[in-house]
Amino acid sequence: MKSKLIWSLLLVLCFGVIQAQELDEIISKHIEARGGAENWAKVNNMKITGRFTAFSVEEDWMAIKTNKGQYYSELHLGKHAVIEAFDGEHGWTIDPWHEISFPRILSKDEDNVFQQKSSLMTPFLDYKEKGLVAKLIGKQDLEGVEVYTIKLTRPSGKYETWYIDANTYLEYRRDSYWVDFTYPTPAESYFEDFREINGLVIPYYEEKMFSQRNRVLLIEDILFNIELDEELFEMAKSSEMEALSFMKGSWDVEVQGWSGRANKWYPMDATTSTIKYAANNMLEEKIRYKTDFVMPIVSQYSYHAGSGKYRVCVYNDFSGETEMFIGQISDSTFTADNTKMIYGGMQDPQAFGKVTITPEDSDHFNVLIENSFDKGENWNPGNKLIYTRKSN
């Protein structure tokens, strides 16, 4: 009985070893069929251009992939232009199909899609080093093609099934999870029209079906190792916040006060300010300057797409008060005031304020602060802040 058990264990162990050897051999032949690891090691990035079909309409398409797993693509999905990017771990997209015009962060299910999209070759290149686990399921006839079936599990736990042509060792099909309107859905991807370029073998045709969707990628041209700006993969700002990006940086600030008696501006203080994106679509300024007292101010600028208005949240650490302003850009000038703000069903009884920001050039802009005691009928000058970009 005991010897039977030992023999059984040995058999299972041997089978496992044989299967692992067979898997290594298949993957090795697959990499070789795709041009070999040495050739792929020379590829830092690829810029692919071609045609993309969605909803039965073919349009131009471009994608950039890097050996760091980064991905950037511009495509047309039916009537909408879509941008998608992935930094190797996380991604973002501008996809008007979601009725959102601004960039949004991808979900984990979407990140899984971009893990698949971003592979330079297939994920089998250096898969062990990248923490992926492959398991040979067996050999089968799939739609008339003899294939090796390999289950590939990513570090995230998401898995996909690859069908490698047993004769050519090129990928024939991949079953994985894709997303349809952010929801995960099973997908079948087919790879065809393998062509050799720079010693690499690449499928120039990829067709995918998921849910009721059908997508076809046709490669027309590939450029290797192009010069790349890493900012390409960083999440884009909304176009509205991009319009305020001139404020980003470190500044010397001259603070002026208004003399009603003399009817002119006079210098009050000289200080510094730092303005940076505290979140993807929120600019934050920290500044302290002296009027009568020292005013430490934190201002946050954001855009509310629903109302089509900017919002400025100003915290005064001298008084401990927060004020909200609503604004817009007109003729390059940003204005915001708090005359429309209602707090707890009531309008704040304090005096109203208005801020006007006027860019002069890339190194200068001015901020005018005014106040009103008649709900914005008349505005009185308060302070003027003149920003000059720090030279370093």
Partner 1 sequence: MNKYFTRLSILWLLMIGLVSLGIAQEESANKWTQFRGEDRSGKSMESLDGVDWSTSKPELVWKHELGSGFAELTMMGNRMYTMTSQTIDSTTGSEFLAAYEVETGKELWRQKVDSIYFDPDGWGDGSRTTPSIDDEHIYCLSGHGKLSAHHLKDGAIIWQIDLKAKYGSAEPRWGFSTSPIILEGLLIMEVGGAENKAFVAFDKENGEIVWNYGKGNASFNSPLLTTIDEQLQIIFANGKTLYSFNPKGDTLWTYAMPFGGITAMPLLIKNNKIFLSGIRNPGFVIVEINDHKATEFIRGTSMKTDFNTAVYHDGYIYGFHVASLRCISAETGEAKWTKRGFGKGSLMIVDDQLLVLSDKGKLIIVEAKPDAYVEKTSVQALEGKSWTAPSFVNGKVYVRNLTHMACYKIK
CB atoms near residue 366 (< 10 Å): 16
Q: How far is the CB of 201 from partner 1 (least distance, A)?
A: 21
User: Is 165 or 337 the residue whose CB approaches partner 1 more closely?
Assistant: 165
Picking from 132, 62, 117, 121, the residue whose alpha carbon sits closest to that of residue 87 is: 117
Q: How far is the CB of 183 from partner 1 (least distance, A)?
A: 13
**Distance of alpha carbon 8 from alpha carbon 6, whole angstroms:** 5
Q: How far is the CB of 55 from partner 1 (least distance, A)?
A: 7
Helix (H, G, I), strand (E, B) or coil at 63: strand
Q: How far is CA 139 from CA 32, 152, 153, 285, 300, in A?
A: 20, 15, 19, 62, 60
Backbone angles phi, psi at 33, to 5 degrees: -60, -30
User: Is 25 or 58 the residue whose CB approaches partner 1 more closely?
Assistant: 58
Q: How far is the CB of 99 from partner 1 (least distance, A)?
A: 11
Backbone angles phi, psi at 280, to 5 degrees: -55, -40
Using an 8 Å Cβ cutoff, are 325 and 304 in contact? Answer: no
User: Is 89 or 146 the residue whose CB approaches partner 1 more closely?
Assistant: 146
Q: What is the DSSP letter of 69?
A: S
CA angle 185, 187, 189 (to 5 degrees): 160
User: Is 214 or 250 the residue whose CB approaches partner 1 more closely?
Assistant: 214
Q: How far is the CB of 123 from partner 1 (least distance, A)?
A: 23
User: Is 2 or 79 the residue whose CB approaches partner 1 more closely?
Assistant: 79
In three-state form (DSSP H/G/I as H, E/B as E, the rest C), the secondary structure along 163-208 is EEECCCCCEEEEEEEEEECCEEEEEEEEEEEEEEECCEEEEEEEEE
User: Is 90 or 213 the residue whose CB approaches partner 1 more closely?
Assistant: 213
User: Is 114 or 210 the residue whose CB approaches partner 1 more closely?
Assistant: 210
Q: How far is the CB of 386 from partner 1 (least distance, A)?
A: 46
Interface residue list for partner 1 (CB under 8 A) = 53, 55-58, 78-79, 143, 190, 207, 209, 211-214, 216
**Distance of alpha carbon 268 from alpha carbon 257, whole angstroms:** 6
In three-state form (DSSP H/G/I as H, E/B as E, the rest C), the secondary structure along 277-306 is EEECCEEEEEEEEECCCEEEEEEEEEEECC
Q: How far is the CB of 204 from partner 1 (least distance, A)?
A: 14
**Distance of alpha carbon 226 from alpha carbon 234, whole angstroms:** 18
Q: How far is the CB of 207 from partner 1 (least distance, A)?
A: 6
User: Is 187 or 247 the residue whose CB approaches partner 1 more closely?
Assistant: 187
Q: How far is the CB of 210 from partner 1 (least distance, A)?
A: 9
User: Is 13 or 57 the residue whose CB approaches partner 1 more closely?
Assistant: 57
Strands 183-197 and 133-142: unpaired
